[in-house]
Structure 1
Amino acid sequence: MTQSLHGHGHLHLHSGTVWQGEGHETAEQVLVSDGVITAVGAEVTARLTGLSEQERERVQSVDLEGGFLMPAFGDGHAHPLFGGLEGAGPAVRACTSVEQIVEEVRHYAEEHPELPWILGASYDGSLAPEGLFDARWLDEAVSDRPVALRAWDYHTVWCNSSALEVAGITAQTPDPELGEIPRHPDGRPWGTLREWGAIDLVMQHCPPRDTDTLVDALRRASRYFLEHGVSWVQDAWVEPENLEAYLAAAEQDALEIRYNLAFYADPRHIDHQLEDFAAQRVRVQAAGHPHLTANTVKFFADGVIENETGALLQPYCSGLHDHGMTVWEGDSLAHAAAAVDALGFQIHIHAIGDAAVRQALDAIEHAVSVNGPRDRRPVIAHAQLVDEQDLPRFSSLGVIPCMQPLWAQPDALMTVLQVPRLGTERSDQQYRMRTLRDDGAALAFGSDWPCSSGAPLEGVAVAVSRQTEDGEPDQGWTPQERLDLGVSLDAYSTAVAHQGFTDLHEHPWGRIRPGAAADLVWLAQDPRGLTAPGLRSLPVRATFVGGRAHLHPTD
């Protein structure tokens, strides 16, 4: 739990290192007045001296105790509702074996006999060979009602036999559009469903989550991000029922951090979605909550490497799925992106494989050529594999690569599910963060939480080391792509604020300077002297959102 200091009156933060960003001078104190930074460094003393006696009584002193104050972290690509909902089902996230998952599902089902479905997330897809999980394993835990669990990648669902039966999925069921039903050699479905075309076959039968449950999930998500120093999040997948939850949370003043919504564009329904997007944006604007905007539209260009649905220029090593899955055929993504851009929305495209990245860049280039120049700040999220000739296009087109630094390590997901599919040569071309930034791209970071940890400092630790938590490999994986610490901190703060157009607000956040909103994070010590293990464990003492301090207890 966090404790709060109100953001009214004056906050004097002092006796620490105030970091104003890579390449900027540091200071020792900051003055915040009614949620806005009014002075930094020596100017603070002069401002305090000039206050009236009555105003001095309103000054709250915060001793930073030698800690480190910097712009609050932002998350350029996450899924807050998904993450919040993980607390409303069986706790499979920490399970390290199939047996543990099955036992946790059994225990949860026994404790909740009233639930018609058992829904949960998110399990480790590397725990079964080739990521294939058998429905019969879940049948051992629950056989009297459907079970559906999402994998860490959120592109995969594992079902029991009851769920497959409800969905009518049999050996004769063809693979749906934009989805795959993996099968045993005799044609029986495994119980593992890949991508939303297949996942929807099951999930459309689930009872919908009520609004109160979704609002509670947003509360949990907000607390989670606050605990990790995050004040602004790009929700990168919002459907109509999710919008209702955000609007209800805004009405209940339950949004403790700032959210920008990205409406999900579906190639199967885009024709009527365009009008809906505009109307939904108007509803968010009418709500008038200072922590809620809806300026973005999200596209999927492909799936993920571990499912062999990431779209590649050259085929997978196994050849099972050849070049992967292209979500938008032909030039349909380019036309849809131009239509969204014409409505004034920011384009945000999920692109994992090098073919998907090229298609995304082509789509953005088309939108620019059709609609003319403007400040659009398009985003390509993930950019896991980028062809050499496409690297400079990020900078030339003004595309922000919003990348997930935590993924740039040889963990089980990489070594068990991705490297065998890509081969060593292509694997070593993944997550070229330093190359993109050196080419002039405005690199920003996101977590993709809950697909991976939403703790920025864990991502920063990998960005500077390219090592696992165990310190492997010794010099880092593809060490030429390691980033300097200051660059990494900027990518998780100021750069995300730029992605979110926060500089266009009356009181922008993402910088520590007079006139900026006081969105700040207080770390227990200066991270610039720490190695990767120290960064991972560095405590967040407080997160400030518009001057309101959420203090985190320390041992």
Structure 2
Amino acid sequence: MTTTDALLVSDGVVQAVGDRAREHAADEQIDLEGGFLMPSFGDGHAHPLYGGLESAGPAVRPCSSVDEIVAAVKAYAAAHPEQEWIVGASYDGSLASGGLFDARWLDAAVADRPVVLRAWDYHTMWVNSVALQRAGITADTPEPVLGEIPRRDDGSPLGTLREWGATDLVAAVMPVRDEAVRVAALGTAADYYLARGVTWVQDAWVEPADVDTYLAAAIQGALRMRFNLAFYADPRYFDSQVTHYADAMARVRAAGSPLLTAQTVKFFADGVVENETGALLEPYCSGLHNHGMQLWEGDSLAEAARRVDDLGLQIHIHAIGDAAVRQALDAVEYVVRHNGPRDRRPVIAHAQLVDDADIGRFAELGVIPNMQPLWAQMDALMTVLTIPRLGQKRSDQQYRMRTLENSGAALAFGSDWPVSSGAPLDGIAIAVSRRTAAGEPAGGWTPEEILPLEPALASYTAAVAYQAFAEEDWGRIAPGASADLVWLERDPRTVSPLDLPAVGVRATYLQGRPVYSAAK
């Protein structure tokens, strides 16, 4: 990272740095007051609309027990008698044994209206009995394709629903949120991100109604930061979906907003380890034949990726388990072989487990591993849900960020917010220490995967700009680049890893304009 002491910005663009910047008279001068100015952060994988909507429901995210969640839902329902459905997110899935939550617990809070809560992973729902009734989910309901309905001993549905085949049964009967609420949620998301120095976000799960919301926000001038949309690809409906991607992309381009692009398609190759739907090469510890869930059968992911590539769109694949990562890499390899070389920058998001044989394939195929550094710690999620499912040996092979970076892969970071904190410095603190906020373990968990600070900062700035095909526009401080900047109160290179989350953001700039300023 090159350091300079002066910067000239004009018309939203960096004009000069260092001595050349000082050669020019300025209409306005800003003294950093001992702070540190750097390129603003980008978030290469998140769900800003979902994150913004969390504030429109019961506040279950801070709850540390099932009883607290139930109390929060009860209080919210009492304060909102006009709401036909109580919808919220995102509860901690480790608060109940095996991540299994009972509908009857929510019945104690609200018995006369449906209650739907999404877990922190957004792959799981917890619902009350009325919601199960509205969705027609009973003991006689068969196991859905691409989903699971955990049951009691008598066969009745417990109240926990896993993956889309199950959660969609409830989503199909839920009322649609008012568009004004959804547009406001994007404003809430922008407030959240800009206060943390983030000016570009990859929305990694966009459905047709979401496109309408983004366009409405763009027309109203309500975006306030950069967003790229990734259209959702569902293996059950892909043949229909793919015919609409080009039209949706054209609608976004026609809107003419400099803050909104739509150049990506999001695939899910599997689920998550914590509910045993992440796809593994070797079985889970719970059973010899349980390898998780691969959502695309046979060569269908490869063929779908090829059709997306035919449209000139970027491939972005959620792959948690090592079997899913291999399938995703195989799909990209098929696309390259079938369609020939071009600058496509495919993304594999999460890459929680990567087999040794597949590490080098990221760089060979030009695949960007977009990883969530905050997850690489020994927190309750890891100790209660993950390690018991993977066993110690595989658990110690998770989140191999340093290994992938050393392999030559273009490592980029994202938060998956609201699944986890969207503050880049929270994630960077883990990337450079592999320790919890309490400092555990002392030497770092799997310390061989600790990243140096400057590559970690680059993975949240320049590397995300590269993922966005925008490395000439932002993610760097150089003449000709957009002045997308974050002013930190201290130089993060002088701060111990555990103190990085406490480094305050004084201001965030987008195209040279202050879009966030901390109160002094």
Instruction: Work out whether the TM-score is over 0.5.
Output: yes
Shift of 1:466: 0.3
What is the alpha-carbon distance in structure 2 between the residues aligned to residue 120 and residue 342 of structure 1? 38
Residues 388-440 of structure 1 show CA distances to partners (whole Å, capped at 9, x for unaligned) of 00000000000000000000001111110000000000000000000000000
The correspondence for 2:253, drawn from 285, 290, 299, is 285
**Retained in 2: the 8 A contact 1:309–1:321?**
no
**Retained in 2: the 8 A contact 1:231–1:257?**
yes
Which position in structure 2 is the counterpart of 1:61? 29
**Retained in 2: the 8 A contact 1:395–1:439?**
yes
Which position in structure 2 is the counterpart of 1:521? 486
Within 5 Å, which residues of 2 pair with 1:489-500? 489-500=457-468
**Retained in 1: the 8 A contact 2:505–2:518?**
no
Shift of 1:320: 8.1
What is the alpha-carbon distance in structure 1 between the residues aligned to residue 484 and residue 427 of structure 2? 20
Within 5 Å, which residues of 2 pair with 1:147-158? 147-158=115-126
Which position in structure 1 is the counterpart of 2:350? 382
What SS does the corresponding residue of 2:487 show, helix, strand or coil?
strand
Q: Taking structure 1 as the reference length, what is the TM-score of the superposition?
A: 0.93
Within 5 Å, which residues of 2 pair with 1:335-414? 335-414=303-382
Matched letter for residue 456 of structure 1: P
**Retained in 1: the 8 A contact 2:432–2:451?**
yes
Shift of 1:554: 4.3
What is the alpha-carbon distance in structure 2 between the residues aligned to residue 144 and residue 309 of structure 1? 32
What is the alpha-carbon distance in structure 2 between the residues aligned to residue 364 and residue 108 of structure 1? 46
**Retained in 1: the 8 A contact 2:43–2:200?**
yes
Which position in structure 1 is the counterpart of 2:19? 42
Shift of 1:62: 1.2
**Retained in 2: the 8 A contact 1:308–1:321?**
no
Shift of 1:315: 0.3
What SS does the corresponding residue of 1:244 show, helix, strand or coil?
helix
**Retained in 1: the 8 A contact 2:233–2:241?**
yes
What is the alpha-carbon distance in structure 1 between the residues aligned to residue 171 and residue 187 of structure 2? 24
What is the alpha-carbon distance in structure 1 between the residues aligned to residue 449 and residue 498 of structure 2? 19
What is the alpha-carbon distance in structure 1 between the residues aligned to residue 366 and residue 373 of structure 2? 21
Matched letter for residue 18 of structure 2: G
What SS does the corresponding residue of 2:5 show, helix, strand or coil?
strand
Matched letter for residue 41 of structure 2: F
Shift of 1:503: 3.1
Which position in structure 2 is the counterpart of 1:7? none
Which position in structure 2 is the counterpart of 1:76? 44
Shift of 1:321: 6.9
Which position in structure 2 is the counterpart of 1:481? 449
Matched letter for residue 508 of structure 2: T
Which position in structure 1 is the counterpart of 2:159? 191
Which position in structure 1 is the counterpart of 2:512? 547
Which position in structure 1 is the counterpart of 2:227? 259
1:459 aligns with 2:440: no
Residues 223-261 of structure 1 show CA distances to partners (whole Å, capped at 9, x for unaligned) of 100000001000000000100000000000111110000
Within 5 Å, which residues of 2 pair with 1:13-24? 22=1
1:175 aligns with 2:175: no
Which position in structure 1 is the counterpart of 2:240? 272
Residues 354-395 of structure 1 show CA distances to partners (whole Å, capped at 9, x for unaligned) of 000000000000011111110000000000000000000000
**Retained in 1: the 8 A contact 2:462–2:471?**
no
1:538 aligns with 2:503: yes
What SS does the corresponding residue of 1:425 show, helix, strand or coil?
helix
What is the alpha-carbon distance in structure 1 between the residues aligned to residue 518 and residue 357 of structure 2? 49
Structure 1 vs Structure 2: percent identity of aligned residues? Answer: 66
Which position in structure 1 is the counterpart of 2:188? 220
1:243 aligns with 2:220: no
What is the alpha-carbon distance in structure 2 between the residues aligned to residue 275 and residue 291 of structure 1? 25
What SS does the corresponding residue of 1:47 show, helix, strand or coil?
coil
Shift of 1:553: 2.2
What is the alpha-carbon distance in structure 1 between the residues aligned to residue 59 and residue 138 of structure 2? 29
Residues 96-155 of structure 1 show CA distances to partners (whole Å, capped at 9, x for unaligned) of 000000000000000111111000000000000000000000000000010000000000
**Retained in 1: the 8 A contact 2:362–2:369?**
yes
What SS does the corresponding residue of 1:298 show, helix, strand or coil?
strand
Query: Which shows bigger deviation, 186-195 or 281-290?
Result: 186-195
**Retained in 1: the 8 A contact 2:249–2:262?**
yes
**Retained in 1: the 8 A contact 2:194–2:516?**
no
1:509 aligns with 2:495: no
What is the number of residues matched between the two proteins? 520
